[in-house]
């Protein structure tokens, strides 16, 4: 796919990957050999019928192509852009053995954008049921659950704690990867289908789960995500100039900290910025820092290059944009003067035996290195937000804070379901969407049973 | 949209507003706060819930910078874009016999619901209200329930000529019935009150006001240090036992954006 020039784009927030023209999409689609048992489909978490949508695209039947994807994935414009395709659909594509795999993500994005721009997601006039469901959180899990329920004629209300909808899609992933008008248009499409969106409602605080039932909801889905940042537990983390990636990205994305001079929420950044971590969050923070004018941006990661959990595309884009990678480096101390960060001391690591995750465990070498920096951003992990758990008796959670669910995605409280990052821990957009959609089917069954019993 | 039902000026810098916000009022308790955003472009700022009535929430704010001044321009009938809550932990009322509440400036607002709750549970209450001048001593008439009221002003225009600690020190020394102190106000004031209370072996609660963004535990901007523990003030607080609070850190963190906020500079600011 074509991209904006690296040295220009690292100064603006326009989308980097430009997307296919119609001709480019057709040329790429022609490469798919329409496998009898398509491996790509098996490795897509929601089993999008990839060869079929590609075939329909080739035939010029874009509407059908869109519908094929939409059946399994209500956010193709978004997943086409942010799925880790190299470890999912594209990673399994048969062509990848000898050549490049089919660019499934780019094609999905093309078809998704076509559908969005042409308003293909139309209000589906399903017979209205008397069922009422509430959804907690407007991230991909909540949106997918809402879409699946409203399509079955359920009256759906989404309650969101923040003032904008979309969860991480809104406050976390930056515009240069996922323009916010895409997220907003997906929300608008759901509104058009009849989903009610309520902002500024912190469930557990503004309204409790019990109170939702009192309000007449028969089934509740919790998709509150894994928004609580975790630190490194090393000295100096509370120095000025040390951010959690969430704070940094929230200032820039949700609060538009760069929209000079209309935004009044500032973001302060020095000329040299270190980002700790190797996932998508770290890449997003590093590339955002660069765009805000940082002269030098370094990524500090404790494993090696092949272990970087971020999407491959983003790692390449980050390098092109001039981000320096310091691998096998683990911060041990943040050093400040007058309560402001000045230096980060790192231990040089080597790789030892594989750990639980199957990746080789980084081990210290007792040799150290120090970087002079002005800002440090921690992007090393997130846990589920504790507000719901702390305010909902009987909601069982794991020791790390995740909500426990059964195979029907039901929690320890009857009629309360959960999915997405709050159950799995920080994962991906498509997995969150997948569980939201699946849970909707069980919620529907549940509500039918309740009505029969009544 | 949240409608402004009433507005009063308490002095040149401080207003009181009553907002129609049923979702906030429904479960709110003393000690909870809200986060509001005046308009689509506005900053999210935290304010304590000063009083509650049915669906209505009272806030009392000091016009410090852009966001609170913007709020001050609004009037009865106008609306606020975002108003979310109740956030934070409700005040944890302790089983105490005689509580001294110490409020500096606009700290009189967040202290009000707490001290009232103590009064209602039968605790003897003493209040020290401090301000730069007598115009900065606010809400005196709202505190008519306290057993004793002492005013302290920096310029001596009302009550004791001096700081709140000048009023508190003799009390702690002479009145053995006092078994708890609550301090709410500027960081330096809370630190001084804490030190005094600790010297006199009284337990002390403080209400911390770090910079906040979301108020839901998501950004971590509001982290504060208590001894060897890091807490998020928006979900674990804002009220904390004061003994182990690292006020130096809080002060530094609060001021990190001061230059930007005050000069109304926006965007990247490199260190000079
Ligand atoms: C910076 C960043 C980059 C990422 N990049 C990628 C990527 O490239 N590809 C990818 O697949 N994944 C990526 N991820 C991960 C992905 O975004 C998440 O896995 C996904 O968003 C999880 O969806 P969710 O619906 O479970 O939760 P979230 O998206 O976290 O949404 C949860 C929502 O619930 C709201 N909420 C929380 N508590 C309450 C409450 N009590 N009441 C009401 N509302 C509440 C929150 O405010 C939030 O809006 C990234 C994550 C981050 C942070
Ligand atoms: C839990 C909590 C409860 C509060 N309750 C009240 C209250 O009842 N009445 C009241 O008048 N004030 C209260 N405050 C303080 C109030 O939020 C700040 O005065 C306000 O955000 C300042 O915004 P501004 O744009 O007007 O001023 P700015 O120009 O932004 O800032 C002026 C000064 O206020 C501080 N500040 C800036 N942004 C914030 C922020 N988001 N949070 C905290 N401090 C900030 C900084 O130290 C800054 O130097 C409370 C703060 C917290 C955290
Ligand atoms: S949803 Fe993601 S994994 Fe599935 S086909 Fe689309 S891009 Fe590939
Ligand atoms: S594996 Fe590759 S070639 Fe085969 S159907 Fe999927 S995309 Fe087409
Ligand atoms: S204000 Fe964001 S975590 Fe507390």
Q: How confident is the model at residue B64 (pLDDT cuts 50, 70, 90)?
A: confident
pLDDT of residue B270: 33
The answer for A 187-246 residues in CB contact with B (under 8 A) is 199-202, 205-208, 211, 227-229, 231, 237-238, 240-241, 243-244, 246
- Sequence-distant (6+) residues with CB within 8 A of A432 are A139, A140, A141, A144, A223, A225, A419, A420, A421, A424
Contact criterion met (CB < 8 Å) for B235 and A386: yes
The answer for A 374-403 residues in CB contact with B (under 8 A) is 374, 385-387, 390
Token pair 């002005």: residue: A374
Tens digit of each residue's pLDDT (9 = 90 or more) over B123-146: 999 999 999 998 888 888 889 999
Measured in Å, residue A276 CA sits from the centre of ligand 2 at 30
Q: How far apart are CA A92 and CA A41, in angstroms?
A: 8
**3-state SS track over chain A:** CCECCHHHHCCCCCCCECCCCHHHHHHHHCCCCCCCCCHHHHCCCCCCCHHHHHHHHHCCCHHHHHHHHHHHCCCHHHHHHHCCHHHCHHHHCHHHHCCCCCCHHHHHHHHHHHHHHCCCCCCCCCCCCCCEEEEECCCHHHHHHHHHHHCCCCEEEEECCCCCCCCHHHHCCCCCCCCHHHHHHHHHHHHHCCCEEECCCCECCCECHHHHHHCCCCEEEECCCCCEECCCCCCCCCCECEEEHHHHHHHHHCCCCCCCCCCCCCCCCCCEEEEECCCHHHHHHHHHHHHCCCCEEEEECCCCHHHCCCCHHHHHHHHHCCCEEECCEEEEEEEEECCEEEEEEEEEEEEEEECCCCCEEEEEEEEEEEEECCEEEECCCEECCCHHHHCCCCCCECCCCCECCCCCCECCCCCEEECCHHHHCCCCHHHHHHHHHHHHHHHHHHHHHHHHHC
Name the residue at shortest CA distance from atom 4 of ligand 3. A44
Tokens of B88: 């934070």
Measured in Å, residue B214 CA sits from the centre of ligand 2 at 13
Rounded to 5 degrees, φ, ψ at A134 are -115, 145
Going from the C-alpha of B78 to that of each of B3, B5, B16, B59, the distances in angstroms are 6, 8, 14, 15
Contact criterion met (CB < 8 Å) for A202 and B84: yes
Token pair 């009145």: residue: B175
Q: How far apart are CA A84 and CA A105, in angstroms?
A: 9
Measured in Å, residue A77 CA sits from the centre of ligand 4 at 20
Tens digit of each residue's pLDDT (9 = 90 or more) over A197-234: 999 999 999 999 999 999 999 999 999 999 999 999 99
Contact criterion met (CB < 8 Å) for B23 and A162: no
Residues A269 and A294 sit within 8 Å (Cβ to Cβ):
yes
3-state SS, residue B198: helix
B238-262 mean pLDDT:
86
Determine the residue of chain A that is closest to B41 in CA distance: A263
Provide the sign of the torsion angle of the four alpha carbons A132, A137, A142, A143, taken in this order.
positive
Q: Which of B23, B213, B230 sits opposite A247 (nearest CB)?
A: B213
Has residue B263 got a pLDDT over 70? no
| Percent of chain A whose pLDDT exceeds 90 | 82
3-state SS, residue B236: helix
ipTM of the complex: 0.91
Provide the sign of the torsion angle of the four alpha carbons A157, A158, A164, A169, taken in this order.
negative
Contact criterion met (CB < 8 Å) for A262 and B86: no
Tens digit of each residue's pLDDT (9 = 90 or more) over A366-424: 999 999 999 999 999 899 999 999 999 999 999 999 999 999 999 999 999 999 999 99
Residue with the larger pLDDT of the pair A259 and B182: B182
Rounded to 5 degrees, φ, ψ at B87 are -110, 160
Residues A411 and A276 sit within 8 Å (Cβ to Cβ):
no
Has residue B21 got a pLDDT over 60? yes
Provide the sign of the torsion angle of the four alpha carbons A318, A321, A327, A333, taken in this order.
negative
| Percent of chain A whose pLDDT exceeds 70 | 98
- Chain A residues near residue B249 by CB distance under 8 angstroms: 238, 339
Query: Structure pTM?
Result: 0.93
pLDDT of residue B81: 96
Measured in Å, residue A168 CA sits from the centre of ligand 1 at 4
Q: Is B222 in the pocket of ligand 5 (CB under 6 A)?
A: yes
Going from the C-alpha of A231 to that of each of A100, A394, B43, B247, the distances in angstroms are 39, 29, 26, 21
Task: Point out which residues pair with B160 in neighbouring strands.
Answer: B152
pLDDT of residue B266: 35
Contact criterion met (CB < 8 Å) for B66 and A264: yes
Give the burial string for B3-39 (b: 16+ CB within 10 Å, else e).
Answer: ebbebeebbebbbbbbbbbebbbbbbebbbbbbbbbe
Q: Which atom of ligand 2 is nearest to the CA of B237?
A: 1
Mean pLDDT over the full length of chain B:
90
Q: How far apart are CA A261 and CA B264, in angstroms?
A: 9
Chain Cα centroid distance, residue A98: 31
Tens digit of each residue's pLDDT (9 = 90 or more) over A329-377: 999 999 999 999 999 999 999 999 888 878 889 999 999 999 999 999 9
B171-176 mean pLDDT:
91
Between A42-46, A236-240, B91-95, the lowest mean confidence (pLDDT) is in B91-95
**Angle, CA of A324, A327 and A328, to the nearest 5°:** 160
Chain A nearest CA to B88, separation (Å): 9
Q: Which of A277, A292, A293, A286 is nearest to A323 (CA)?
A: A286
Name the residue at shortest CA distance from atom 4 of ligand 4. A35
pLDDT of residue B259: 62
Contact criterion met (CB < 8 Å) for A264 and B252: no
Residue with the larger pLDDT of the pair A119 and A168: A168
- Chain A residues near residue B218 by CB distance under 8 angstroms: 171, 227-229, 246, 250, 385
């Amino acid at each position: 796919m074509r991209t904006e020039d690296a040295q220009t784009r690292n100064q603006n927030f326009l989308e980097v990957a430009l997307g296919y023209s119609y001709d480019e999409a057709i040329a790429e689609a022609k490469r798919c050999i329409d496998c009898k048992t398509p491996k790509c489909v098996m490795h897509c978490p929601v089993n999008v019928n990839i060869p079929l949508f590609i075939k329909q695209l080739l035939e010029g039947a874009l509407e059908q192509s869109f519908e094929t994807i939409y059946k399994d994935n209500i956010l193709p414009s978004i997943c086409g852009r942010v799925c880790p395709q190299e470890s999912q659909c594209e990673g399994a594509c048969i062509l990848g053995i000898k050549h490049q795999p089919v660019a499934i993500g780019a094609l999905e994005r093309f078809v998704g954008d076509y559908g969005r721009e042409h308003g293909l997601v139309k209000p589906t006039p399903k017979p209205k049921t008397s069922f009422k469901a509430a959804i907690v959180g407007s991230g991909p899990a909540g949106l997918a659950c809402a879409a699946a329920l409203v399509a079955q004629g359920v009256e759906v209300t989404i309650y969101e704690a923040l003032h904008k909808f979309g969860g991480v899609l809104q406050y976390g992933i930056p515009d240069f990867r996922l323009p916010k008008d895409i997220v907003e248009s997906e929300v608008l499409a759901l509104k058009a289908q009849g989903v009610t969106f309520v902002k500024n409602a912190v469930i557990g605080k503004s309204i409790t789960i019990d109170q939702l039932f009192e309000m007449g909801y028969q089934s509740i889905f919790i998709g509150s995500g894994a928004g609580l940042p975790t630190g490194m537990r090393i000295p100096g983390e509370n120095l000025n100039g040390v951010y959690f990636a969430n704070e940094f990205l929230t200032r820039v994305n949700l609060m538009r900290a760069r929209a000079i001079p209309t935004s009044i929420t500032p973001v302060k950044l020095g000329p040299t910025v270190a980002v700790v971590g190797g996932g998508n969050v770290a890449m997003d923070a590093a590339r955002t820092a660069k765009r805000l004018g940082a002269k030098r941006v370094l990524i500090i990661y404790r494993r090696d290059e092949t272990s970087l959990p971020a999407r491959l595309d983003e790692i390449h884009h980050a390098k092109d944009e001039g981000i320096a990678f310091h691998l096998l480096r683990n911060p041990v101390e943040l050093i400040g003067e007058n309560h402001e960060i000045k230096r980060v001391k790192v231990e040089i690591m080597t790789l030892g035996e594989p750990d639980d995750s199957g990746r080789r465990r980084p081990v210290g070498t007792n040799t150290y290195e120090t970087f002079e920096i002005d800002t440090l951003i921690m992007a090393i992990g997130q846990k589920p937000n504790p507000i719901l758990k702390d305010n909902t008796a009987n909601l069982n959670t794991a020791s790390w804070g995740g909500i426990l669910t059964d195979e029907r995605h039901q929690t320890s409280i009857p009629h309360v379901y959960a999915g997405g990052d709050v159950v799995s821990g920080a994962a991906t957009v498509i997995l969150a969407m997948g569980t939201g959609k699946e849970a909707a089917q069980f919620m529907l069954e549940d509500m039918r049973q309740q009505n029969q019993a009544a | 949209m949240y409608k402004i039902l009433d507005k009063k000026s308490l002095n040149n810098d401080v207003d009181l507003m009553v907002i129609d916000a049923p979702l906030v009022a429904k479960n709110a308790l003393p000690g909870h706060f809200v986060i509001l955003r005046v308009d689509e472009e506005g900053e999210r700022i935290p304010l304590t819930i000063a009083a509650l009535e049915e669906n209505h929430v009272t806030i009392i704010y000091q016009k410090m910078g852009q966001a609170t001044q913007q709020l001050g321009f609004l009037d009865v009938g106008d609306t606020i874009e975002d108003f979310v809550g109740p956030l934070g932990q409700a005040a944890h009322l302790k089983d105490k016999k005689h509580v001294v509440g110490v409020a500096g400036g606009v700290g009189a607002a967040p202290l009000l619901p707490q001290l009232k709750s103590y009064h209602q549970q039968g605790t003897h209450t003493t209040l020290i209200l401090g301000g730069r001048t007598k115009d900065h001593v606010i809400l005196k008439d709202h505190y008519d329930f306290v057993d004793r009221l002492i005013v302290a002003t920096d310029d001596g225009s009302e009550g004791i000529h001096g700081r709140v600690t000048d009023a508190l020190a003799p009390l702690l020394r002479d009145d053995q019935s006092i078994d708890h102190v609550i301090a709410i106000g500027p960081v330096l004031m809370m630190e001084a009150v804490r030190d005094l209370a600790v010297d006199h072996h009284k337990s002390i609660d403080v209400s911390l006001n770090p910079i906040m963004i979301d108020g839901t535990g998501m950004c971590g901007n509001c982290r504060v240090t208590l001894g060897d523990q890091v807490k998020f003030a928006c979900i674990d607080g804002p009220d904390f036992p004061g003994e182990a609070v690292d006020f130096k850190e809080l002060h530094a963190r609060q001021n990190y954006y001061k230059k930007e906020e005050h000069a109304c500079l926006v965007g990247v600011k490199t260190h000079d």
